A and B are shown apart, each in its own frame.
Chain A
Amino acid sequence: MKRFSPVFRNLTRKPGRTTALILLTAFLALSLFAGTMVVSSLRRGLGSMENRLGADIIVVPAEAESKSSLKNMLLQGTIGTFYMDASAVDKVRETEGVQKASAQVFLSSMKADCCSVKVQIIGFDPENDFVVKPWIAESLNRPLGDMEIVIGNRVATDVGEIFRIYDQRCLVAARLAATGTGLDTAVYCNMNTMHALLEAAEEKGISHKIDTGNDAEVVSAIYVRTLPGADVGLVNNRLNGKIRKATAVRTTGMLTEVSDSLGGVSRTVAVLIAAVWILALVILFIAFAMMVNERRRELAVYRLVGMSRSMLSGMILKETALCSLAGAVCGVLLGALAVFPFTTLIETSLKLPYLAPGTGTVAAYAALAIAVTVAAGCAASLHTASKLSRVDPGSTLREGA
C-alpha cells in the first residue's frame, strides 16, 4: 500500500476528478457486463429450448393457428388449449418415416385456484413419451403416480404440497430444472390424472370437446421423432397430407425463428455496447488530455524532487488503474443488480427463452469485464502519461512564474 501512497494522495486530493473517472469506467463495465450477461442468457435459453423440445415434428390442431400458438406457449408460457381427435396419434404412428409419436393434452387451470393466475397443465403418456420423461427423470427417480404432478421451475409451490386444480387435490412430486422457456410455468401429469382433471373441468362448465361434439378422447399435440436418416421435411409433408384438421410443424423451423430473433437482439445489444464504449472512451481520452495542462506544474515539481520519467508515467498509470478498477467493480456490481433480480422481467419483455448462466460463467464474465475496463482506462491514459513524463520542469515552472 505504501508504494501507492502518492497515488492515493493524488486521487483523494481531487475528489471530483476521481469520482468522474470512476463513474465513467463504471459505466463502461456496467454496459459490457450487463450486455454480455443478457446475450449469454439468451443463447443458453435457446440451447435449453433445443434440448427440451426433443422432437423433430409437432402435430397440432389447425385451430392452433399453425405454429404461433405453440411457439407462444413454449416461449412465453401463454396458455394453449386446443384439441383434436386422439385417433390422429395412430395415424401419425402409421406414417412412413415416423419412429416415435407421443401425445400430450393441454389444459388451463382456473384463475385464482392456486396461483392467482391460470396455469398450463400438460398431460403426457408415460408409456410412449420421449419428450417430458427424460426431463422429469432429472428430478424424480420413480414413475409419476396418479393424481401426482411435477411443477415447472417457476411455479412457487413446494414439493410435497397439495396443488388444487379444479378442486382436485394433486400432490407435487417434484420440481423441474429451469429451462428459461414458458414450460417453466407449466404443470405436468400423467394421462390418468389429466382425464380426471378434464372431467373436473367439464363439471365446472369448461368444455374441451372438439367440434364434432362427440366424447372421443382428445389430444392437444403429438410430438414426433423421425427414423434416423429420414427426410424430416418429407415426413412433415406426409403428416400434413394425412392428418385432417391438423398442422405438422417442424421444430427446426420454430428454433430458426427464435434463433433469428435472438440474433437481432444480440446485434442490438452489441451495437449499444459499442456505442457506449466509443462514447465513454472518447470522453476518457478528452478528460486525460485536459489533465495534461492541469497537472503540468504539479508533475514538474515531482521531476525536480528527483522522480524519473518512468516513475512519473508509472504514477499516472497507477492512478488510472486504481480509478478504473474501482469503477469497473462498481459497474459490474450495478450490472449484476440490474440483470439478475429482473431475469423474469427481461425474459417476458424480450419474449425469448432466457436462462442465466451458472455461477462460474458469471464470475468469469465479471472478471473479464473488469480486466477489459481497466485495460481500456490504462490505454486511454497512456498518451497522457508519456506526454506528462516528458515535461521540462525548469521551463514549465518559469512559465507559471
Chain B
Amino acid sequence: MKKNLFAILLMIFAAVIAVGSVTVLGPCVHEDGSKGPCADAGKALLIDGCVMAILAILITMVNRRGLRMALFAAALCAAVIGILLPGVLMPLCKMDTMHCRAVMQPSMIILSGAAAVSALTGIITERSRKA
C-alpha cells in the first residue's frame, strides 16, 4: 500500500478527470442540445484521464523500479498535457462565463496539476527506493 501510495493518488485524480469530463466538469451543452467549440477539449480530457488511470493501474502491477519510473514519467507527461489541453492545446468557448471556462478549465488544471505532483513525487520516491 505504502509503495503504491502515489500510484493510487494518481489513479484517483485520473478517475476524477475522466468521469468529470463527461459529467459536472465537462464541456458546455446548450439548451437546444448543440455542442460548443469546447466539446473536443472535453473528449480529449476523457482520453487523457483514461490514459493516466491505465498508467496508474500498470504502476501498481509492476515491481521493477526502472519500469515504474518510466510509467510515472509517462503519467507526468499525460498530466502536463491535461493542464494544457483546455484553452491552450484545444479551443474553448469565447466567453468567460461559459461552463467550459468557468468550471471545466480551472477544475481540470487543478486536477491535472495534482496528478502531475503525484507522478513527480512517485518518480522521486522510486529513485530513492532501494532496488
Contact = CB atoms under 8 A, between A and B. Distances in A.
B34 interface: yes
B101 interface: yes
B37 interface: yes
Contacts of A348: 97, 102
Interface in B97-111: 97-98, 101-103, 106-107, 109-110
Interface string B68-95: 0000000000000000000000001111
Q: Chain B interface mostly helix, strand, loop or mixed?
A: loop
Interface string A115-133: 1110100000000000000
A345 B94 contact: no
Interface residues of B, number: 20
Contacts of A157: 94
Contact of B102 (A112, A119, A155, A345): A345
A344 B96 CA distance: 7
A344 B94 contact: no
A111 B38 CA distance: 15
A117 B35 CA distance: 11
A157 B93 CA distance: 10
A326 interface: no
A153 to B, nearest CB: 8
A80 B102 CA distance: 22
B110 A117 contact: no
B95 A156 contact: yes
13 contacts: A116-B28, A116-B38, A117-B36, A117-B97, A155-B94, A155-B96, A156-B93, A185-B97, A337-B110, A341-B110, A344-B101, A344-B102, A345-B102
Interface of A: 77, 111-112, 114-117, 119, 154-157, 184-185, 337, 341-342, 344-345, 348
| Top 6 A-B residue pairs of the complex, sorted by shortest distance between their CB atoms | A341-B106, A154-B96, A344-B102, A116-B36, A115-B94, A156-B94
Interface of B: 28, 30, 34, 36-38, 92-98, 101-103, 106-107, 109-110
